[in-house]
Structure 1
Amino acid sequence: MKLRLLAGMSVLLMTAGLSACSSSSDTSDGASAGGKTTIDVWLMRDSVSAQFQNEFVKGFETAHPDIRVKVQIQEWDGIGEKVTAALASNDAPDVIETGNTQVAQFAQSGGLLDLSDKVDELGGQNWLTGLAEPGAYEGKQYGIPYYAANRVVVYRTDLFKEAGVDAATVKTRDQWLAATRKLNTGGTQGIYLPGQMWFALAGFVWDEGGDLATESGGEWKGTLDTPEAIRGMNFYKQLQTLGKGPRDSDEAEPPQAEVMAKGQVAQIISTPGGANTVIENNPELKGKLAFFPIPGKTAEKPGAVFTGGSDLVIPTVSGKHDAAYTFIKELTGDTWQKKLAVAMSYVPNKTTLADAVAGDPGASAMAVGAAVGRATPNTPGWAAVEAKNPIKDYMTAVLTGSNAQQEATTASDAITTAMNSGS
């Protein structure tokens, strides 16, 4: 899912919107003069800046003079229905950018081109798991990883210094808890963590070896009631109680960046873009915010994170598969991935390209987590879970004193029902 963010997640990017047109002129039938092939490409609003888009299109058309590119910008609201309708028509675009967790929904219809035979050529052995796994469906690769983003810890350097905490030493969960307790003094909240940030919970559950749901024999079952998942919830509770975050809402209600901007919060869990929002609301904090990866259980391995971002797919009904694939190969290749990462502060689609963002503190912190990042259960039925989201109710119940095992069983049953009815 696009990390704008995650669960109504706060907007990931603070960048300029995309221009709705490319350097190519429009044609009515997709064919250009001189025997050139024109491909229609749907990219999502705010995925890249207009400057990067124009640079890529110009470079691509120079390298491939037989192909012209026509970019159309799509809005995230209602995109699922629009893509589904396009795939069922005879007038679909040739390349579509889709949220990584949406690929299964579109692949289920049979409307996407199977690109499994291209994985090796595209360097798939080094793809981020959180993009590659949801880009596959029933053993076939339909989505090609495009870019990634995930949450990190955004912290106040001045408050850490005053408390005698060196962020560089916060590598494990236990160290994180100890540091947060030291920060949680006087009028300062050691951390602002709302009770329903379920994407953060998912990472803690994965760290413990648990999952949100598992599949067996074609049936999905919610698994928040396993010992591993319960341990993940217990850690969330320990961390959440070290601040004054509401127990019955998520990071959007109230917007956590605005809460941090008031000056009494030492840490939040957010994408790096959240720091920009903090500064916009309180310019006095400029130069006082920094980042570190969400800690794991041991110093050797960072905490698991939900990987948001996008994949690129090719509709089956496109009559220009070769040209569409050439476009995807270029945009997801090492040269343009490095440029994209630098331009947009994204995590590149391969673990081997992490050095591209070494000079960007926020993106480099994301890259550490992305290397062990994951996505939600890879099935069209997961959309039914997010529609009502029993995970949020479960978290609030536990944080307000209800029995964790009983509430986890109730939530797991709700997930099971939703996934199997939704698929």
Structure 2
Amino acid sequence: MKGRYLSLAASGAALCLTAVTLTGCGAVDGLTGDNEVTLRVVAADYGDNPQNSSAAYWKELADGFHKDHPGIKVEVNVFSWSEVDAKVAEMVKAGKAPDIAQIGAYADYAAAGKLYSTAELLSVKTEADFLAPLADAGKVKQTQYGMPFVSSTRLLFYNEKLLADASVIAKDAKGWQPKSWADLEAAAKKLKGAGVPTPFALPLGREEAQAETMMWMLAGGGGYTDNEESYSIDSADNARTLEFLRDKMVGQGLTGPVEPGKLDRQAAFEAFTKGEVGMLNGHPTLMKQAEAKGVKYGMVALPTSDGSQQPAMGVADWVMAFKNGHRAESGKFLDYLYQPKNVTAFTDKYDLLPATTTGYQAKQAATSGPALRLKPFLTALPSSRLYPVGKKSWAGVSEDIKQNIGKTVQPGGQPAKVLEDIATAARAADPR
């Protein structure tokens, strides 16, 4: 995901495998011996070391598919997240697009007419199984091209000990339920008074500024787009959200010693695991990182500006199929990929949320194991809002946000002006 929460693979080298044996990574023609069709797949690596690389999952998947469909081989090239999108772009530019790609964005390829629609690929059962907000995010002009692969939502994490020591919560409390930004401000002031270095970490650095910003905008009743999916970056609600952060959080010294525009997500996570941060927005990966360091934490929905209910932010990665003349074969493989057992195998391995209704229901029904602790994230998923990834302009808009949004919360920052500049460029790149 752009602004994703997953670790990059330890090695940048591609891991190449086929449905049967490991092979080289050269270009492969559509037909092999005995008239078998070979599907070329490019996928991202969700592991953080060679031992838990996604290559093992894809090999097992390809082996199982080939056993059921002996006329179709599947060759999968697995690349680290730091390079997979660029690798696919290079292949497409060279006229050697893969049949299927599992990467971070699809809209540019869909707008260029290079992708099959999901209706051309999937069985009715598979297509209908995608969670509605994720399926909608995969559409360009009302036609779905992007198939959500995995997803996540975000929650507010807090350090139980730090909040108890600062008398934000009672030492025997079983949880904390802040409702409004006033509750956050009051808690952050108590944490500051108790000597906590960073009462509330606000990472608006390049790593994930677009994610942190969207979480706060949604909580303030705004967002990047309106109900008609037109850009509304410069809305009054969004300006008020950033003014709150500038004046109440940053302005009162409640966000720590590092300027938000220079603080990256992972650095904030690491500070949380060291007991230096009282509160911050996080995703499932932070659970493991905190537990590994013995930090006891709680998780709640990010409070809203006035205590009213607002949607959480969701994030998804995407699968797409290029028009290489293998529509039927690609469709069969994708139907296999989205079988419940295969969805569950991947999401369980990496503590991710499923993109399908059957996968969601299976995790909701879990009474033990990894799925149990993901339930707070699952609860937020069906009503979550995603980045406007269906707009081919989104990549550029996201970069604009990364470069400029941190300025809005500096002393003397001008949220309305910065938002207006970003919105003007966004609308010019995506005229309706």
Do both share a fold (TM > 0.5)? yes
SS of structure 1 residue aligned to 2:17: coil
Find the counterpart in structure 2 of residue 46 from structure 1.
46
**Structure 2: gaps (5+ residues):** 48-52
Hey, what's the Cα distance between the residues in 2 that align with 1:396 and 1:126? 38
Q: When the two structures are aligned, how many residues end up with a matched partner?
A: 401
CA contact (8 A) 1:45 1:76 kept: yes
Find the counterpart in structure 2 of residue 412 from structure 1.
420
Query: CA 1:149–1:312 in 2, change beyond 3 Å: closer, same or farther?
Result: same
SS of structure 1 residue aligned to 2:222: coil
Find the counterpart in structure 2 of residue 288 from structure 1.
296
Q: TM-score under structure 1 normalisation? A: 0.79
Hey, what's the Cα distance between the residues in 2 that align with 1:235 and 1:362? 32
Find the counterpart in structure 2 of residue 9 from structure 1.
none
Find the counterpart in structure 2 of residue 258 from structure 1.
270
CA contact (8 A) 1:195 1:246 kept: no
Hey, what's the Cα distance between the residues in 1 that align with 2:265 and 2:281? 14
Deviation at 1:80, TM superposition (A): 4.4
1:312 matched to 2:319? The reply is: yes
1:86 matched to 2:91? The reply is: yes
Deviation at 1:70, TM superposition (A): 0.9
Hey, what's the Cα distance between the residues in 1 that align with 2:257 and 2:68? 52
Find the counterpart in structure 1 of residue 17 from structure 2.
21
Find the counterpart in structure 2 of residue 246 from structure 1.
258
**Structure 1: gaps (5+ residues):** 6-11
Q: TM-score under structure 2 normalisation? A: 0.78
Deviation at 1:82, TM superposition (A): 4.0
Query: CA 1:173–1:36 in 2, change beyond 3 Å: closer, same or farther?
Result: farther
1:400 matched to 2:411? The reply is: yes
Deviation at 1:294, TM superposition (A): 3.1
Query: CA 1:250–1:170 in 2, change beyond 3 Å: closer, same or farther?
Result: farther
Partner deviation per Cα, 1:186-223 (whole Å, 9 max, x = no partner)? 1124322235544222123234442325698x9x65x3
CA contact (8 A) 2:118 2:144 kept: yes
1:329 matched to 2:335? The reply is: yes
Hey, what's the Cα distance between the residues in 2 that align with 1:53 and 1:125? 21
Find the counterpart in structure 2 of residue 339 from structure 1.
345
Find the counterpart in structure 1 of residue 211 from structure 2.
199
Find the counterpart in structure 2 of residue 372 from structure 1.
383
SS of structure 1 residue aligned to 2:271: helix
Query: CA 1:91–1:396 in 2, change beyond 3 Å: closer, same or farther?
Result: closer
SS of structure 2 residue aligned to 1:133: helix
CA contact (8 A) 2:42 2:101 kept: yes
CA contact (8 A) 2:148 2:319 kept: yes
Partner deviation per Cα, 1:213-235 (whole Å, 9 max, x = no partner)? 5698x9x65x3432222333345
CA contact (8 A) 1:146 1:311 kept: yes
Query: CA 1:236–1:323 in 2, change beyond 3 Å: closer, same or farther?
Result: farther
Deviation at 1:112, TM superposition (A): 0.8
Hey, what's the Cα distance between the residues in 1 that align with 2:140 and 2:36? 33
Find the counterpart in structure 2 of residue 95 from structure 1.
100
Find the counterpart in structure 1 of residue 71 from structure 2.
66
Query: CA 1:266–1:370 in 2, change beyond 3 Å: closer, same or farther?
Result: same
CA contact (8 A) 1:213 1:224 kept: yes
Deviation at 1:146, TM superposition (A): 0.8
Partner deviation per Cα, 1:5-40 (whole Å, 9 max, x = no partner)? 5xxxxxx23777784324424595343445433211
CA contact (8 A) 1:290 1:362 kept: no
CA RMSD of aligned residues (A): 3.6
Query: CA 1:409–1:215 in 2, change beyond 3 Å: closer, same or farther?
Result: farther
1:159 matched to 2:162? The reply is: yes
Query: CA 1:76–1:353 in 2, change beyond 3 Å: closer, same or farther?
Result: closer
Deviation at 1:326, TM superposition (A): 1.4
Q: Quick one: percent identity of the two aligned structures? A: 20
Find the counterpart in structure 1 of residue 50 from structure 2.
none
Query: CA 1:104–1:333 in 2, change beyond 3 Å: closer, same or farther?
Result: same
What amino acid sits opposite 2:199 in the alignment?
G
What amino acid sits opposite 1:228 in the alignment?
D
Hey, what's the Cα distance between the residues in 2 that align with 1:119 and 1:408? 47
